[in-house]
Structure 1
Amino acid sequence: MNRRELREQIFMLLFRVEFNQKDDMPEQCTLFLEDGDTEISEKDAAYIRSKYEKIAEKLPEIDKLINETAIGWDTQRMGKVELTIIRLAVYEIRFDETVPTGVAINEAVELAKKFGQEGSSGFVNGILAKFA
């Protein structure tokens, strides 16, 4: 898989956080990687799992950053798709030195175009611009 495809898989796994208890997520991760619609190599599965776990570990901190930065919005009011995309991008901007800020924002906007509603890409771009 290329980086964009890996990011999409991480987004889809991270999206499950909104619908499952924290204790259920290890099982959800296994189900996602083994029984998903997409065939995922062992190497890619290890990368997806590792990055997901790093993001999940920092979710309280990421949500705090989002709530402090997104004036007039908070994580409770955001759509689940947009929130998940923003969480992924904020992690990449603040904690993943291998991803340039511009790439994180651009990829988040592309995810919003693909998975979000009309206007999602502009919303995601506006929130993330404040992190740049």
Structure 2
Amino acid sequence: MIRTELREHIFKLLFQEEFNREEDMQEHLKYYFMTLENAADKDKDYIQEKYEAVAGHIAEIDELINQYAKGWKTTRMNKVDLAILRLAVYEMKWDEEVPVGVAINEAVELAKRFSGGDSPSFINGVLGKIARSADGDETK
């Protein structure tokens, strides 16, 4: 699978987080991977590892999103947009393999595909603010 496809699967798992209890997600992961029967084991491993990495930083990620999404809190956001933002912020802050610009562009593309209306612009705006604020701190 190419990175865009892998990212889409991670996004879908993060979206499920909003509707399932944390302790149930391992069972959901198992079923999700059963639907990916043609995927290589290395791709499944990558998806699971990155999903778990993002899930492990959700509190920190949500804090950043709440700080830069003026007038919006994660508790009020569209759940699709929230999952996309969480993945992108993780990539921007903690994933050394993904350039910030790529994380933002991929997030906007996910929003175009899975969300609607003003979501691509909203996501681009929030991520752009986070990226600009990070120019002077510890972000990649």
TM-score by length of 1: 0.95
Tell me which amino acid in the other structure corresponds to 1:99.
V
Indicate if the aligned counterparts of 2:64 and 2:130 stay in contact, CA closer than 8 A: no
| Partner SS state of residue 74, structure 2 | coil
| Partner SS state of residue 130, structure 2 | coil
Q: For residue 9 of structure 1, what is the aligned residue in structure 2?
A: 9
Task: Count residues in correspondence.
Answer: 131
Q: For residue 48 of structure 1, what is the aligned residue in structure 2?
A: 47
Structure 1 range deviating more: 65-74 or 13-22: 65-74
| CA apart distance, 1:39 | 3.0
Distance 2:120 2:65 in 1: 16
Q: For residue 31 of structure 1, what is the aligned residue in structure 2?
A: 31
Q: For residue 111 of structure 1, what is the aligned residue in structure 2?
A: 110
Distance 1:100 1:21 in 2: 32
Tell me which amino acid in the other structure corresponds to 1:7.
R
Q: Where in structure 2 are there 5+ consecutive unaligned residues?
A: 132-140
| CA apart distance, 1:30 | 1.1
| CA apart distance, 1:35 | 2.7
Q: For residue 68 of structure 1, what is the aligned residue in structure 2?
A: 67
Tell me which amino acid in the other structure corresponds to 1:63.
D
User: Pairwise CA RMSD of aligned residues?
Assistant: 1.0
Distance 2:73 2:123 in 1: 13
TM-score by length of 2: 0.90
Identical pairs, percent: 54
Q: For residue 102 of structure 1, what is the aligned residue in structure 2?
A: 101
Q: For residue 18 of structure 1, what is the aligned residue in structure 2?
A: 18
Q: Where in structure 1 are there 5+ consecutive unaligned residues?
A: none
